[in-house]
Amino acid sequence: MTHATILAAAGLTQADLTGGTLPVRSPIDGAEIARVHETESREMPAIIARSQAAFRQWREVPGPRRGELVRLMGEELRAAKAELGALVTLEVGKITSEGLGEVQEMIDICDFAVGLSRQLYGLTIASERPGHRMAETWLPLGPVGIITAFNFPVAVWSWNAALALVCGDPVIWKPSEKTPLTAIATQKIMDRALARFGDAPEGLCQLVIGGPAIGDALVSSKDVPILSATGSTRMGGIVGPKVAARWGRPILELGGNNAMIVAPSADLEMAVRAIAFGAVGTAGQRCTSLRRLIVHRSIRDDLVARLSKVYANLPVGDPRKAGTLIGPLIDMGARDRMLAQIARAKAEGGTVHGGQVVEAITGGAYIRPALVEMPGQTATVCEECFAPILYVLTYDTLDEAIALQNEVPQGLSSCIFTLNLREAETFLSAAGSDCGIANVNIGPSGAEIGGAFGGEKETGGGRESGSDAWKGYMRRQTSTVNYSAKLPLAQGVTFEV
């Protein structure tokens, strides 16, 4: 399919694609595929005001009815899965199965949120005072600003939007400037669901496109009480304090420097497969991508030999073609940063396998993944590079391996391959991994939507998607009802007047 065919199939019109100021290029061949209209900064106060007005209506709609909108969104996504998945591939460079998988993730979170809409439950709490009932209730909080990154251009929006909507909150979405087309197509899908729903307030789901000034309007506004931002640690270091300074609630999903510990008892065939997808899937451009391989000394040579063979044969190329496993990096800047990181690793004593630019493919930033044997956990290893670089480190004891894993500033995802129960349980204990995600005998990426997603330290501490992440989009209210004829005070205090 041509670029134009994919864009048209996704419902994008000439008005969407032309006449704007923001150029959009496909990483597949570097071709400019659109010039998108940007939201003007002066429009942001009115957009936020519409969201506030929508909130005053939407919070009064019963939760299960709010869930019906998300159910319709899921239906529309099912109908548009192939077209939206192809657009993700065109705009981001993901291989076809990953583009489709991202849309499936959106469908899955819609299903989760529909069930959640009937389970926004609080607690009944035992009161110390006779004739009193104490309880907590979860209530809508207000508009949610959603700032998403290029690597998951639509799934991360859906994690936030599906939960926010059933919780009673409107959403304002600012996508990455590198991936506005998938956002426009998704907004059109959402608009179809809203039309079928019938009585949703205007301004319930809005899309704004532009650079830092547009994002800062959401970050700085007191009328946007929740701000969910996905991106780099540098970005989070700016956004988090700004939101906190105005007493807002930040939900931050930032960098990862994820490790796998491979123990002597590990099933190496399974480990190799998990390493390959974890390290090179999405061309290493996942926040959960595997970046560090911490291998027991007794099996290091064997594992490195296996991986070197696999890396040498990984098919790099056009992500739309069958058999391709690694598409392009998002742009030439990402390629240059990868090459610079490899050069620094070499200077620190690293031995590099792979990492060459694929000169035979022009237009896009195609580069072979790099496997880098390091003498230790250097400054370069501790720095996340959003590219398919995997550093190999050696350990002798499990305590040493866990310490190496936890030594970096980031704390998103982690895993261990072992058949030893004690090692697995130690890894999952308070003395083990310090990450928000800890897996045994699976890689660090490819999280399911049923669990809360997020990490600690410089990853930001935010949680999205499953489990009780919905509570981040609501306010908790504790209430006490006195149904007796007396007025006892708590803690035995007496105050007679």
Burial class (CB in 10 A: 0-12, 13-18, 19+), 18: exposed
287 catalytic per annotation: yes
User: Residue holding tokens 């496993």?
Assistant: 325
Q: How many CB atoms lie within 10 A of CB 260?
A: 27
Q: Shortest CA distance to 168 belongs to which of 55, 70, 244?
A: 55
pLDDT in tens, 415-451: 999 999 999 999 999 999 999 999 999 999 988 999 9
Question: pTM of the full predicted structure?
Answer: 0.96
Q: What 3-state class would DSSP assign to 218?
A: helix
Pull the structure tokens for residue 86.
Answer: 């192809």
**Could you tell me how far CA 66 lies from the centroid of its own chain?**
24
Look at residue 285 and tell me whether its pLDDT is greater than 90.
Answer: yes
Residue 126's contacts (CB-CB under 8 Å, 6 or more residues apart) are 134
Catalytic residue among 110, 167, 287, 435: 287
Cα separation of 281 and 270, whole Å? Answer: 16
Tell me which H or E stretch contains 192.
helix 180-197
pLDDT classification of 158: cutoffs 50, 70, 90:
very high
pLDDT at 80: 98
Query: Long-range contacts for 77-81 (Cβ within 8 Å, ≥24 apart)?
Result: 77/103, 77/106, 77/107, 77/110, 77/189, 78/107, 80/10, 80/11, 80/185, 80/189, 81/107
Percent of the chain with pLDDT strictly greater than 70: 100
Look at residue 496 and tell me whether its pLDDT is greater than 90.
Answer: no
The neighbouring-strand residues paired with 391 are 292, 372
pLDDT at 85: 98
Tell me which H or E stretch contains 173.
strand 171-174
Cβ–Cβ under 8 Å, residues 405 and 433? yes
Residue 214's contacts (CB-CB under 8 Å, 6 or more residues apart) are 38, 39, 41, 44, 174, 208
pLDDT at 1: 84
Q: Shortest CA distance to 39 belongs to which of 208, 205, 163, 278?
A: 208
User: Residue holding tokens 């390629």?
Assistant: 335
Look at residue 44 and tell me whether its pLDDT is greater than 90.
Answer: yes
253 catalytic per annotation: yes
pLDDT in tens, 205-243: 999 999 999 999 999 999 999 999 999 999 999 999 999
Burial class (CB in 10 A: 0-12, 13-18, 19+), 32: exposed
Catalytic residue among 38, 68, 105, 253: 253
User: Residue holding tokens 């690597």?
Assistant: 151
